[in-house]
Structure 1
Amino acid sequence: MNILLTTFPEQRSANVGDALIAFSALNLLQARYREYSPKVLYREFDLDTLGHHKADSVLAPGFSVSEGVYRNLYSLYADLDRLAHFYPVGCSFQTPLIPGKPLNAFRYGNDTVSFLRNMATRFGPLPCRDASIVRILENNGIAAVYSGDLALFDETLVGKEFTGSAEPSSIVVTIGHHPKYAHQSLRLMHLLKEHFKDAKLYVAFHSRPNGHSLQLAAQATRLGFSELHLYGSVDNLNIYDSIDFHIGYRLHGHVAFLRRRKPSVLLMEDVRSYGFASTPGMEVGCIQAFVQDSLEPEEKAAEAAIGFARDQLRENFLGYARCFASIDRTYTDFIAPYFNNLARNLYLEDSATHKTQYLTEVPIS
């Protein structure tokens, strides 16, 4: 039995960004090994409850390397020796930002250090979705490597030349996680109305609505924005195929546009987006939503975001070519070799059990 542990909280927030991560991992692997058909389980699932059904492999896209990951975020097995073939990739990290304290200064507790070092020793350096996570792990004596966010990679578009983009006829704003940015978000939407008078404007939910997001969306609709409820199935994001430009707070709203070779502006509200922007080449279009020293909302962040977009528009958004080149390099240097080898390993493991006849030709690298 092959298992994929997803971070997608279907019964909770239904965050579509998590769905996109799992979707991307499956596409990358099944393109190389079409027989791969895992049992998809939420990350908290206790593998011990499978009883005699052995997990031949465990793929964990977006695996969290946050404090308390083992047993608090991921149950895995009580006896980690039973975890024979484990593939964490695109590892994520989350912790509250602390005013005046650099993210690189983060230190894990002893139990988490022990677990993560054990995983890196047994299964290789932990592949991380941004450069800051690599630095945090290495500063804690844990081997790590940069893999990029898996959701960035659509193999039908990777390597495609970016020739620029015209003035957007449609723009979507994604609603952030944190209520403290509500005033800043509303200011952003007012500025979009002012500067892009002819564009069709949308406001998008990436998670199930809550009080904060509903209130902000109501204000947006009074300004003439149309609501998009995109949480849940990754298919909901297909509407982005027909929208020209994203500007907002959701990291995977930003990533969903970069994946499509479209320009996007991300207002960085927390450690996830802050870490993303710390990666060389990926800082394009990233605007800090908070003041570094106090973590209070930056008063002019909305103006900075619109100003950046207007500057890029005058150059047909060609400044994004550097971002797409970075994505392509990461694909060539890490993603393609990693998933080639993963497909090969799974093919050999499955063939050894004589479960079925496989017709897919698996790259050997």
Structure 2
Amino acid sequence: MNKNNKKYFIALTGAKKNVGDFLITGRAIELLEHIAPEYEYVLHPHWEKIEDIEFINNSEGIIILGGPGFQMNMYPGVYKLTDSLRDIKVPIHTLGTGWKGVPGDKTTERLYHFTNSAQQMLDTMNDTTAGMSCRDYQTKRALINNGYNNVTMTGCPVWYDIESLGKKFTAPKEIKRVVYTPAQDETFSEQSIEVLGFLINKYKNAEIIVSFHRGIGVVDEFTPKSDAENTKKLADKAEKMGAKVVDVSYNRAKLDFYDDCDLHVGYRVHAHIYFLSKRMPSILLHEDGRGNGVSEALESPGVNAYKLSRLYSNIFRIFNKNKGVLSIYRKFAFKVNGNINNDMERIINNIENTNYQVFDKVSRHIDKQYHVMEDFIKKITKKNVGW
């Protein structure tokens, strides 16, 4: 509940265990309070229903804080909200929310299809004055393909570290500390070990720190046994290979040591964005459309951890908006990239040979896009838009 009798928004957070979700929530609230400090932002877990309808309807609206929330079953599969959306009389907004397209190519965009209940929620948000904010162009295209045109590509809230806005990127003189984030998906487990070996060999004189965003080896309410076993295996292997292992789950402050590192390489999207937002270099390995989306939107360095059959991609591209066909497409077209280290060598050599110039471009892109995010927040908080 709001504490100071201020007008308030209900801010839906996805922060459970993954430190990336805590980072999204923190950066989103910092943006909102920076741009529209006259409101209070009351956090509520998006996976829990909001039982008090009066609390909802006395608010200025609901704001979904980032995350891959534009999933095909987003309501009520991701956002519980209430049993009936008709009970909600205030606007529902997204703030830099993304899709979860797997594998994440143009064919996935075409086949991406929302359930009927998800469409009810999307219809509600599409009809607001501000519309929806998304974090990348793939998400925007998937929404438009499903008939939702009132969409602004603002970028993810984590793009915007307020203290870093306007700062120039400075290329590292030497790589002394590398953060490596392995894949969460067990499909890429062996590949994650292979990439770690590549980095240890590539940066022989650097400290390699393997960072686990969702914990290591612990089964809990947010982590199934198979996931815990996989992270434990990866951590044990990393230590045997001579890397340092850290668990950064549950607490955004655990990421502070990233500021003293020189480079991030890995699969975790929000480790990648954290580094870029701080004007530090990062290379992202794409597990799916979440990774592809950010690399396209920021024009930042990335490598696909998967390979797709061009034949199947061309065949399945004739279909449109079909969840069942998408499932079949994943099964037949998707495989793990067996040449990942060659791809990594090529992209790192290019970055080094151009003295990291691509990251100066990324920094300028973030600064430019910040004004789009700022304007969107002003719209949803009714600032200077003719309300």
TM-score scaled to structure 1, two decimals?
0.86
Deviations 1:171-195 (CA, angstroms, capped at 9, x unpaired) = 0110211122122221211121212
Deviations 1:314-352 (CA, angstroms, capped at 9, x unpaired) = 3321122222222122112x112223444555xxxxxxx
Structure 1: tracts of 5 or more residues without a match: 346-362
- For the 8 Å contact 2:103–2:287, the answer to whether it is kept is no
- For the 8 Å contact 2:178–2:263, the answer to whether it is kept is yes
Deviations 1:186-228 (CA, angstroms, capped at 9, x unpaired) = 1211121212111111000000221111111111111111111
In 2, Cα distance between the equivalents of 1:72 and 1:195? 43
Shift of 1:123: 4.5
Query: What is the 5 A alignment of 1:182-331?
Result: 182-209=189-216, 210-279=228-297, 282-293=298-309, 294-331=333-370
In 1, Cα distance between the equivalents of 2:202 and 2:101? 36
Identity %: 23
CA 1:188/1:258 → structure 2, altered by over 3 Å: closer, same or farther? same
Shift of 1:109: 3.1
Query: What is the 5 A alignment of 1:1-365?
Result: 1=2, 2=8, 3-9=10-16, 14-34=17-37, 36-47=39-50, 49-50=51-52, 52-54=54-56, 55-56=58-59, 57-62=61-66, 64-77=69-82, 78-97=84-103, 101-143=107-149, 144-209=151-216, 210-279=228-297, 282-293=298-309, 294-332=333-371, 334-344=372-382
In 1, Cα distance between the equivalents of 2:36 and 2:155? 22
Q: Tell me, what secondary structure is at the counterpart of 1:224?
A: coil
Q: 1:119 corresponds to which letter in structure 2?
A: M
CA 1:79/1:297 → structure 2, altered by over 3 Å: closer, same or farther? closer
CA 1:69/1:16 → structure 2, altered by over 3 Å: closer, same or farther? same
Q: Tell me, what secondary structure is at the counterpart of 2:161?
A: coil
Q: Tell me, what secondary structure is at the counterpart of 1:287?
A: strand
Deviations 1:118-169 (CA, angstroms, capped at 9, x unpaired) = 2111343311111001001111111222111111101211221223222311
Q: 2:25 corresponds to which letter in structure 1?
A: A
Deviations 1:41-72 (CA, angstroms, capped at 9, x unpaired) = 1102222x125434403221116121121222
CA 1:141/1:203 → structure 2, altered by over 3 Å: closer, same or farther? same
Structure 2: tracts of 5 or more residues without a match: 3-7, 217-227, 310-332
Q: Tell me, what secondary structure is at the counterpart of 2:308?
A: coil
Shift of 1:37: 3.5
Q: 2:11 corresponds to which letter in structure 1?
A: L
In 1, Cα distance between the equivalents of 2:54 and 2:195? 55
In 2, Cα distance between the equivalents of 1:181 and 1:32? 40
RMSD: 2.2
Shift of 1:253: 1.1
CA 1:58/1:113 → structure 2, altered by over 3 Å: closer, same or farther? closer
Q: Tell me, what secondary structure is at the counterpart of 1:296?
A: strand
In 2, Cα distance between the equivalents of 1:290 and 1:309? 18
TM-score scaled to structure 2, two decimals?
0.82
Shift of 1:298: 0.9
In 1, Cα distance between the equivalents of 2:141 and 2:349? 34
Aligned match of 1:359: none
In 2, Cα distance between the equivalents of 1:169 and 1:326? 27
- For the 8 Å contact 2:53–2:87, the answer to whether it is kept is no
- For the 8 Å contact 1:60–1:87, the answer to whether it is kept is yes
Q: Which moved more, 1:63-72 or 1:77-86?
A: 77-86
Q: 2:48 corresponds to which letter in structure 1?
A: F
- For the 8 Å contact 1:175–1:250, the answer to whether it is kept is yes
CA 1:278/1:319 → structure 2, altered by over 3 Å: closer, same or farther? closer
Q: Tell me, what secondary structure is at the counterpart of 2:121?
A: helix
In 2, Cα distance between the equivalents of 1:241 and 1:103? 35
Shift of 1:105: 3.0
Q: Tell me, what secondary structure is at the counterpart of 2:103?
A: coil
Shift of 1:292: 1.6
In 1, Cα distance between the equivalents of 2:347 and 2:265? 11
In 2, Cα distance between the equivalents of 1:170 and 1:145? 37
Shift of 1:111: 3.3
Q: 1:243 corresponds to which letter in structure 2?
A: C
- For the 8 Å contact 1:67–1:108, the answer to whether it is kept is yes
